[in-house]
Copies of this chain bind each other. A is one copy, B any other.
Amino acid sequence: MNQIELFAPASVANVSCGFDVLGFCLDPIGDIMRISKTTTPGVIIGKIAGQDLPTDPLKNVASVAGLALLKEHSSEFGFQIDIDKKIKPGSGIGSSAASAAGAVFGINELLGAPYSKKELIRFAMEGEAIASGAAHADNLAPVLLGGFTLVRSNKILDVIKLPNPKELVATIIHPKIELKTLHSRAILKTTIPLNKAIEQWGNLGALVSALYTEDYELLSRSIQDKVIEPYRAMLIPKFEETRQAALNAGALGSGISGSGPSIFALSKGIQVAKKVGLEMEAIYKDLDLDYQLHLSKINTEGIKVLNRS
């Protein structure tokens, strides 16, 4: 195998109550990446379509992630990464995670898969770190493992794949403003009230339980964030109205996707998710602001191989 083409999906991190630890993988939204063997060792960035991203291998998250892998697993040949970048950076649906995860996944395959998907996360984190200012796995884990994932510890990287209630469908609205994770992290306080923290971990524990028991009502009650959202909400136009519109249309829960500006909603069944999308869209139609709307089942597989040659 000299070349692999793959689909690197978008993802939703945090999911309201699981700041920095929880995430799930999206389905139809994602980048197309082609990774090819080259004769010169190292990683180079070839063509990037769709977005204006650095081609310097030391500045692009995909190549940085790939180089992290090659630092541990040396290779006589090198790799070229071409990306059809459909996920807009700074959209809050894991643009950098898709690139970083896609790169290490592809390179790993071309090396004969010396690492498991779980092991690949830590290499991808080095790419993620240059985009978000901190090495987080909350988007990378769902992209690599699929479905819902929990990062117990970012420090020693302990990642758990959670079950996926079959009828969940995500609706995402992406207002076309760019919010760098770096900036939306800077707005947060370094301490939080203990009583809010207790509510948060009560909700996260309940959400994990709800995923195992497919208890959609409990899931709905758990999707709350009193810690992070109040600060970040002010960076997103009409956030609260859009969230309310989603809930009024029947969504189980709604909140900021990752560090925003995208807003996610989770619904039971495709019909509700569509209605939720229409109501979220209704809020944005009144604004002089471009947006995109996505509908997605939970992608339980993560990255998909499109072609090997």
**Residues of A in contact with B (beta carbons under 8 Å apart):** 17-22, 150-154, 158, 160, 162, 188-195, 197-209, 212, 218, 221-222, 227
Q: Which of A20, A194, A195 has the most CB of B within 10 A?
A: A194
If A152-B203, A204-B204 touch, whether A221 touches B158 (CB-CB below 8 Å) is yes
Q: Which residues of B contact A191 (CB under 8 A)?
A: 191-194
Q: Which residues of B contact A17 (CB under 8 A)?
A: 201
Q: How many copies does the complex hold?
A: 2
Q: Which of A160, A198, A200 has the most CB of B within 10 A?
A: A198
If A152-B222, A191-B191, A194-B191 touch, whether A201 touches B162 (CB-CB below 8 Å) is no
If A18-B205, A22-B205, A160-B206 touch, whether A221 touches B152 (CB-CB below 8 Å) is yes
Q: Which residues of B contact A221 (CB under 8 A)?
A: 152-153, 158
Q: Which of A158, A193, A197 has the most CB of B within 10 A?
A: A197
Q: Which residues of B contact A201 (CB under 8 A)?
A: 17-19, 21, 197, 200-201, 204-205
B198 in contact with A20 (CB, 8 Å) = yes
Selected contact of A21 from candidates B194, B198, B212, B227, CB within 8 Å: B198
If A160-B209, A208-B209, A209-B162 touch, whether A192 touches B202 (CB-CB below 8 Å) is no
Residue of B nearest to A163 (CB): B212
B158 in contact with A206 (CB, 8 Å) = yes
If A209-B160, A209-B162 touch, whether A199 touches B150 (CB-CB below 8 Å) is no
Shortest distance from the beta carbon of A255 to any chain B beta carbon, whole Å: 15
Q: Given the complex of chains A and B, what is the CA–CA distance between A56 and B18 in angstroms?
A: 45
Shortest distance from the beta carbon of A156 to any chain B beta carbon, whole Å: 9
Q: Given the complex of chains A and B, what is the CA–CA distance between A162 and B222 in angstroms?
A: 15
Q: Which residues of B contact A160 (CB under 8 A)?
A: 205-206, 209, 218
If A22-B205, A192-B191, A208-B208 touch, whether A197 touches B227 (CB-CB below 8 Å) is yes
- Can you give 20 A-B contacts (C-beta < 8 A)? A17-B201, A20-B202, A150-B202, A151-B202, A152-B218, A153-B221, A158-B206, A158-B221, A160-B205, A188-B194, A191-B192, A192-B192, A197-B197, A197-B200, A201-B201, A201-B204, A201-B205, A204-B205, A205-B207, A205-B208
Q: Which residues of B contact A152 (CB under 8 A)?
A: 202-203, 205-206, 218, 221-222
B197 in contact with A21 (CB, 8 Å) = no
Q: Given the complex of chains A and B, what is the CA–CA distance between A79 and B202 in angstroms?
A: 35
Shortest distance from the beta carbon of A203 to any chain B beta carbon, whole Å: 6
Q: Given the complex of chains A and B, what is the CA–CA distance between A18 and B201 in angstroms?
A: 7
Q: Which residues of B contact A195 (CB under 8 A)?
A: 190
Interface contacts beyond A152-B218, A192-B194, A192-B197: sample of 6 additional A-B pairs, CB < 8 Å, sorted by A = A19-B201, A21-B202, A22-B205, A158-B206, A189-B194, A190-B195
Shortest distance from the beta carbon of A175 to any chain B beta carbon, whole Å: 26
Q: Which residues of B contact A20 (CB under 8 A)?
A: 198, 202
